[in-house]
Structure 1
Amino acid sequence: MSQPESTSLNVLPTWVESSLIKGMLRGIERESLRMQSDGFLSQAAHPRALGSALTHPHITTDYSEALMEFITPPQDSIKKALDYLSDIHAIVHRHLENDEKLWPLSMPCMLDSSDDSIPLAQYGSSNIGLFKTLYRHGLGVRYGRRMQTISGVHYNLSFPDHLFEALQQQEQDESLKALSLQDYRSHRYMGLIRNFIRLTPLVMFLIGASPAVCQCFMTGRDHFLLPLVKGTLYSPYATALRMGRFGYQNSAQKQLGIHYNNLQDYLDGLQKAVKTPYEPFSRLGLDDANGQPIQINDHVLQIENEYYSLVRPKQVPQAGETPSQALENRGIAYIELRAVDVNPYSPTGINEDTAGFLEVLALYCLLQDSPALLGDEQDLIEQNQAEVVNRGRAPNAAIIENGQSYLIEDWCGMHLQRMLPLAKLLDSTYDITVYTDALKTMMLRVDEVDATLSALVVGDIRKQGGMWHFGQHLAQQHSLVYEEHQLSPETLAYFEEMSQKSLQQQQQLEQDSSISFADYLAQYR
């Protein structure tokens, strides 16, 4: 094992000052299962009082009718984003029925032995609503429904245009200087994405919080997990099983060759996958014996969103645009960091330390050189990720980089040291200490592996006598936090209006359907 090279490498150019950073925006998407009072997945419909999951801008569902997703609009500070997320949780909690609670962990609550007891999300009778449900049915047919009950946090982040303009002025390469702002911004965001992929082991080690699963989650699957306590399986040194082969995986996608070396190649790869039939999915058939569709198509991806990735380039689609078309037309507007486990100890699934760390990391990834990410390095990164997912807290866990092997704590510590000047810059920009405090918290986890979230979760599951008891205990604690959360009259009125408006919008869509769903699907196919 080697020591990582000197930490004196300065990633903060002398000309970057705090005024260039001002104008960052962030938004948070948090997923959480609704759990019945007996600890099993809810079988009830999405509460009508919360509006339409199809058209509500902040409260929707993901794969299952029981898998809720809470979405904040972009905010100009971490505090505002987290406050908004707290408001959403408090609103939702008020409208949960039959003593249901929000399950606080990434890996799911108790599931029946049958996949059919994981209800697909329902979006009404409009063609777009039926299409969304069919897409989810197809995912279940392809990968099983259990995988789709895993929850995560997606952290959306954008940097201001004046930062990209300043970066472009400093470029030595004339061809980069000649790009339009839109193309240059996309070029730099793709560089950020490549570096984030290289550094995902850091994310998994520091904020991974899924080292164990309920035994019911592994029904019918081969695995190497060991009993932690009765009814709970784990891997002794695991950090984030959600990010490993028991989590969101798609073997078909491995062969896609989608890479992030430039935006156009990424979009071409995605489009090819959406249009290319895949034999194992063709064998499943398009329709059942009664002629009812069971998947949108038999292609590698039914739609673009099926591509599971650690990080995504994003642009807000306009009416009628696919995500790819939006990116093609207007370039990258922000990035979505997806390798984030739900923090079970936070009532909103994410706290200030995680948010601050992710923003420093994103700036670090943006400002560093980012060479093309090619096959050999990609294989190595996947090896590093698997090492950290399955045994990141082991005394000899190692990361391989540039032909050298480093102990994981040394490797993480080196990168955190290099990030410190960026944290100080961000703190001075907003006159706060959030960013340096976040790095201090992460440094503690590197220095003392038992302080990592994954180690705490294993200890607490053991103490509580099982994952279900641990989750129940936290769900109960969090529900008290939601109850005590003060909602202003304006906030209450806004969410009431949103739920009414969303129901009207869904109704409008259902009245506007001029063609049958069979014709709508045939046109898409």
Structure 2
Amino acid sequence: MSQSEANSQAILPTWANAELFQGMLRGIERESLRMQSNGFLSQADHPKTLGSALTHPYITTDYSEALMEFITPPKASIPEALNYLADIHAVVHRHLENGEKLWPLSMPCMLDDQEKNIRLAQYGSSNIGKFKTLYRHGLGIRYGRRMQTISGVHYNVSFPDALFEQLQQHESNEALKNLSLQDYRSHRYLGLVRNFIRLTPLVMYLVGASPSVCKCFMTGREHHLLPLIKGTLFTPYATALRMGRFGYQNSAQKQLGIHYNNLECYVAELQKAVHTPYAQFSHLGLNNEQGEPIQINDHVLQIENEYYSLVRPKQVPQAGETPSEALANRGIGYVELRAVDVNPYEAIGINETTAGFLEVLALYCLLKDSPELWEEEQDLIEHNQNEVVNRGRAPNATIQEAGQHYPLAQWADRHLQEMLVLADVLNQSYVTTLYSDALKVMHERVQNVDITLSAQVIEDTLQHGGTWSFGSAMAHQHVENYQQHVLSPETLAYFEGLATSSLQQQQQLEQETDLSFDDYLAKFR
């Protein structure tokens, strides 16, 4: 037996069987910009026929009024989750007006020189609606609006309690054995989070699809990018510029010292950041000359969601709870894997291959030994991430781990080999070959860099004559996919009902407001 086969066997406990994984749940969040027929970013309102972006559970907006976000509920299998996401896309396509289309790339194009033309998302006249828009205004003055036009895919996954119960029973550490199931589950999910952070370079290499950017995205910014073709910038071996310093970044957050070593500390550190003033943001002021608020507060984070992370431990908040309060009250319920680029070749931004890989990876991160993660290792991981973001396809790309340098391909291959046994057990659980098929594709991408998504994007960008032309061609192709997707009368009626009820909910919130927004904000501040 080879070393990797031995490691692979050790990852899956001998007592584990396929039934233990049958209660897994997964949900997907996909973001996409609306583009006008002339190719520029949409200036139109969120289509009212889709319902209220404030209260609709599955069709909403993120930063910008033009940045749509589609959310599936938790589903029992990958095909169910993907099919639900496809339903949402087909429904949305029916309601887009004036020839608008969904932009298919993570990195935006079609931005003009005026940041004000990236309209902030609007949520109506209720206090919570105004608060959400103010939060986005704050993000805009802190980091610039261009950064907020980037799209991604967030993959949410949870494992069944039966698995955590078995894991806990087989612990040799008495302290872990004596934890409540809620606390033990949180302990294991934090182990998953730490290992996912260690392995994000693998995700960036295998599913990164943002190796180049439209020149308009870099307006007014210093950069080291090179011209690929007219209107498009790149670095020669990049994989996922969205995950690098031109993507979601927050220099203030570097000093936060948020760790994932135990839940109590994570919650305390996150809450501290929401209550700690930051000089650079204080300098911006809280209100403009007319006395109107321009950011929620001058703290490192306005609210907890401002913390940009590659992976988040999550719990569904109840009425009035912040995300961290939900975690403190009920422990971690699932994890959100956030380091995933939109796949421009898929009409819904993700396919079975990526989903299968992410689930095997999540299980691997859960079962693999996960030491505490502190600054020194975090710095090393950031070095590895930058290497893969900017040079992941270079023949001499390396990963640093435990004082050693490894060729990226060798490092990636070792982890994929160790995951094989987990793909097999998930195949058994779901009576499918999806998981091992996904790992096979990923293995091929490690063996042949030219078939990575990032390499394909570069090739097709050159072939089409630039980012805008490539993105537009894919957007047109995806329209056919949405039109061919069959929506049952029941599904159509269901989404029509959601649109109507969400608008009613928004109206109710607006009528119930007896506190002025100034007073509402003062209470929060």
Return the TM-score normalized by structure 2: 0.99
**SS of 1:199's equivalent?**
helix
Asked if 1:482 is matched to 2:485, the reply is: no
What letter matches 1:126 in structure 2? S
Corresponding position of 1:315: 315
**SS of 2:354's equivalent?**
helix
What letter matches 1:131 in structure 2? F
Which whole-Å CA distance do the structure 2 matches of 1:207 and 1:186 have between them? 28
**SS of 2:32's equivalent?**
strand
Task: Verify the 8 A CA contact 2:4 2:418 in the aligned structure 1.
Answer: no
Corresponding position of 1:211: 211
What letter matches 1:156 in structure 2? N
Which whole-Å CA distance do the structure 2 matches of 1:124 and 1:379 have between them? 42
Corresponding position of 1:513: 513
Corresponding position of 1:280: 280
Corresponding position of 2:167: 167
1:96 shift after superposition: 0.2
What letter matches 1:235 in structure 2? T
Which whole-Å CA distance do the structure 1 matches of 2:104 and 2:223 have between them? 24
Corresponding position of 2:391: 391
What letter matches 1:8 in structure 2? A
Corresponding position of 2:411: 411
Which whole-Å CA distance do the structure 1 matches of 2:304 and 2:168 have between them? 31
**SS of 1:157's equivalent?**
strand
Corresponding position of 1:26: 26
1:39 shift after superposition: 1.0
- Give CA-to-partner distance per residue, 1:67-103, whole Å, 9 cap, x none: 0000000000000000000000000000000000000
- Give CA-to-partner distance per residue, 1:198-227, whole Å, 9 cap, x none: 000000000000000000000000000000
Corresponding position of 1:445: 445
Which whole-Å CA distance do the structure 2 matches of 1:254 and 1:222 have between them? 20
Question: What runs of 5+ residues in structure 2 fail to find an aligned partner?
Answer: none
Which whole-Å CA distance do the structure 2 matches of 1:149 and 1:248 have between them? 10
Which whole-Å CA distance do the structure 1 matches of 2:475 and 2:81 have between them? 22
Corresponding position of 1:241: 241
- Give CA-to-partner distance per residue, 1:30-89, whole Å, 9 cap, x none: 000000111110000000000000000000000000000000000000000000000000
Which whole-Å CA distance do the structure 2 matches of 1:241 and 1:427 have between them? 33
Question: What runs of 5+ residues in structure 1 fail to find an aligned partner?
Answer: none
- Give CA-to-partner distance per residue, 1:391-424, whole Å, 9 cap, x none: 0000000000111111111111110000000000
RMSD value, Cα: 0.8
Which whole-Å CA distance do the structure 2 matches of 1:481 and 1:6 have between them? 41
Instruction: Trace 1:69-80 onto structure 2 (pairs within 5 A).
Output: 69-80=69-80
In terms of mean alpha carbon deviation, does 8-17 or 88-97 score higher? 8-17
Corresponding position of 1:158: 158
Which whole-Å CA distance do the structure 1 matches of 2:40 and 2:238 have between them? 25
Which whole-Å CA distance do the structure 1 matches of 2:240 and 2:159 have between them? 28
- Give CA-to-partner distance per residue, 1:325-355, whole Å, 9 cap, x none: 1110000000000000000000000000000
Task: Verify the 8 A CA contact 2:78 2:352 in the aligned structure 1.
Answer: yes
**SS of 1:405's equivalent?**
strand
Q: State, as a whole percentage, how many aligned pairs show the same letter.
A: 73
Cα distance, 1:398–1:188 mapped onto 2, change above 3 Å:
same
Which whole-Å CA distance do the structure 2 matches of 1:73 and 1:27 have between them? 6
1:515 shift after superposition: 0.4
1:6 shift after superposition: 4.4
1:7 shift after superposition: 5.0
1:118 shift after superposition: 0.1
- Give CA-to-partner distance per residue, 1:455-474, whole Å, 9 cap, x none: 00000000000000000000
Corresponding position of 2:345: 345
Task: Verify the 8 A CA contact 1:7 1:414 in the aligned structure 2.
Answer: no
Asked if 1:186 is matched to 2:196, the reply is: no
Instruction: Trace 1:319-330 onto structure 2 (pairs within 5 A).
Output: 319-330=319-330
1:109 shift after superposition: 2.0
Which whole-Å CA distance do the structure 2 matches of 1:228 and 1:357 have between them? 30
**SS of 2:154's equivalent?**
strand
What letter matches 1:289 in structure 2? E
1:8 shift after superposition: 2.8
Corresponding position of 1:40: 40
What letter matches 1:524 in structure 2? F
**SS of 2:139's equivalent?**
helix
Asked if 1:503 is matched to 2:508, the reply is: no
Which whole-Å CA distance do the structure 2 matches of 1:342 and 1:387 have between them? 20
- Give CA-to-partner distance per residue, 1:220-249, whole Å, 9 cap, x none: 000000001000000110000000000000
Which whole-Å CA distance do the structure 2 matches of 1:383 and 1:259 have between them? 18
1:5 shift after superposition: 6.8
Length, aligned pairs only: 522
Which whole-Å CA distance do the structure 2 matches of 1:352 and 1:430 have between them? 14
Task: Verify the 8 A CA contact 2:4 2:417 in the aligned structure 1.
Answer: no
What letter matches 1:380 in structure 2? L
Asked if 1:118 is matched to 2:118, the reply is: yes
Corresponding position of 1:423: 423
Which whole-Å CA distance do the structure 2 matches of 1:129 and 1:77 have between them? 34
Task: Verify the 8 A CA contact 2:260 2:266 in the aligned structure 1.
Answer: yes
Structure 1 consecutive aligned stretches of length 4 or more whose deviation exceeds 2 Å: 4-8
Task: Verify the 8 A CA contact 1:35 1:109 in the aligned structure 2.
Answer: no
Which whole-Å CA distance do the structure 2 matches of 1:5 and 1:105 have between them? 39
What letter matches 1:104 in structure 2? P
1:12 shift after superposition: 1.0
Asked if 1:251 is matched to 2:251, the reply is: yes
Instruction: Trace 1:219-230 onto structure 2 (pairs within 5 A).
Output: 219-230=219-230
Asked if 1:51 is matched to 2:27, the reply is: no
**SS of 2:11's equivalent?**
coil
Asked if 1:106 is matched to 2:135, the reply is: no
- Give CA-to-partner distance per residue, 1:438-494, whole Å, 9 cap, x none: 000001100100000000000000000000000000000000100111000100000
Corresponding position of 1:363: 363
Which whole-Å CA distance do the structure 2 matches of 1:206 and 1:39 have between them? 29
What letter matches 2:153 in structure 1? V
Corresponding position of 2:6: 8
Return the TM-score normalized by structure 1: 0.99
